[in-house]
Structure 1
Amino acid sequence: MPTQEPIGLLVAVVRRRIKQAVSTMVREHDLSPQQFWTLVAIAKHEGVSLRELAELQRMDQPTACRVVAALARRRLVHSGADPADRRRSRLVLTPSGRSLAERLAPIAAAVRSAVEAGLTPSERTAVVAGLRKVIANLENSQVGSAKGSPLPGIDNR
């Protein structure tokens, strides 16, 4: 086992294991992991806009829109006009969505607890800070973007 495992590999393993755990735990509710986390986020931030939800979930708006549309088709979420600005819409849970979100909250807590088990508060803070740096690095880099490669002599176009 290498002592310097690539960060990307470790992140991929963590993502895959969380996704597998969530898939297993929410199978009976016929939700994808994205739908599960989105429903939990809307329950926590009731009245959030689609743009705000996308930012909270760190997903692009088209993906957030597709996930919310799937939840809306199941009558778990609906979009209502913002009373302060009728041009904006806010996402709210339906009564059945709220009931399901309440049943799912312990699953979300269990997954988060399992992910953080054994970490001291300072280790958790360091992991979060490190991952935020990695995210910022990737957002600021040209790797995998249409801008081309940051490596000399390599052109992605």
Structure 2
Amino acid sequence: MTNTTDRLPEVLGELIVVSNKLTRMAAQLTEGAESPAIWRTLSALRDAGPVRLGELALLSRVAQPTMTKLVHTLVERGWVERIADPADARATVLAATSSGHAALAAWRAELIAAILPQFDGLDPDEVAAIARAVQIVHQRLDAPSSTPKEA
């Protein structure tokens, strides 16, 4: 009999694949014109709090010049603001504004509404299983040891 923890690498791999598929499908079902990089950047700011441009580029996995352009767009829309870095008055950090948080929440609601029909007919046990899986993933990803190490 195989130990179920032996399957963990395979299960985590499938979770990553299905999570990406779910996100792509939901985005395709909406008619939003925004670049996924916009939402990824706002999500990174929501999760990380105020950060410098270079750190935000690392979190969003884009080059610093690309992040500079993204931030310019987000600042123009009023979704991100530049704030003096409390640790270094010569530098600035970036933070999502309340408008940015609202835009991100509206996008998430649009994605959920678009993908919801794919899950019609789930029974309560299936919903509970998905909820438990989400809870486990959040607990692991939000644990202090899961923070990416700096190179």
TM-score (norm 1): 0.50
* 1:46 aligned onto 2:49: yes
Out of 87, 91, 99, the position equivalent to 1:88 is 91
Paired residue secondary structure (2:51): coil
Distance 1:83 1:19, change over 3 A: same
8 Å contact from structure 1 (residues 23, 32) kept in 2: no
Q: 1:18 to 1:38 in 2, by over 3 A?
A: farther
Query: Where is the helix percentage greater, Structure 1 or Structure 2?
Result: 2
Q: Secondary structure at the match of 2:34?
A: coil
Distance 1:89 1:102 in 2: 25
* Mapped partners of 2:48, 2:30: distance in 1: 21
| Per-residue deviation, residues 68-122 of structure 1 (Å, max 9, x unmatched) | 11111111111111122111111111221122223445659xx9xxxxx9xx9xx
Matches within 5 A, 1:78-157: 78-104=81-107, 107=111
1:19/1:33 contact within 8 Å kept = no
Measured in 2, the distance between the counterparts of 1:77 and 1:27 equals: 23
Amino acid at match of 2:28: T
Q: Deviations over 1:34-86 (max 9, x none)?
A: 11111111111120111001111221100111111111111111111112211
1:66-77 aligned within 5 A: 66-77=69-80
Residue 21 of structure 1 is matched in structure 2 by 25
The 3 A distance-change label for structure 1 pair 59 and 72 is same
CA 1:26–1:97: 2 relative to 1, 3 Å:
farther
Q: Which amino acid aligns with 1:21?
A: M
RMSD over aligned CA atoms reads: 3.5
Higher RCO by CA contacts (8 Å cutoff, separation 6 or greater): 2
Structure 2 residue aligned with 1:147 = none
Identity %: 32
Aligned AA for 1:74? R
CA distance in 1, matches of 2:52, 2:70: 14
Matched residue SS, 1:66:
helix
**Matched residues in 2 for 1:69 and 1:26: separation?**
25
Which structure 2 residue ranges, 5 or more long, are not aligned?
A: 1-16, 116-129, 138-151
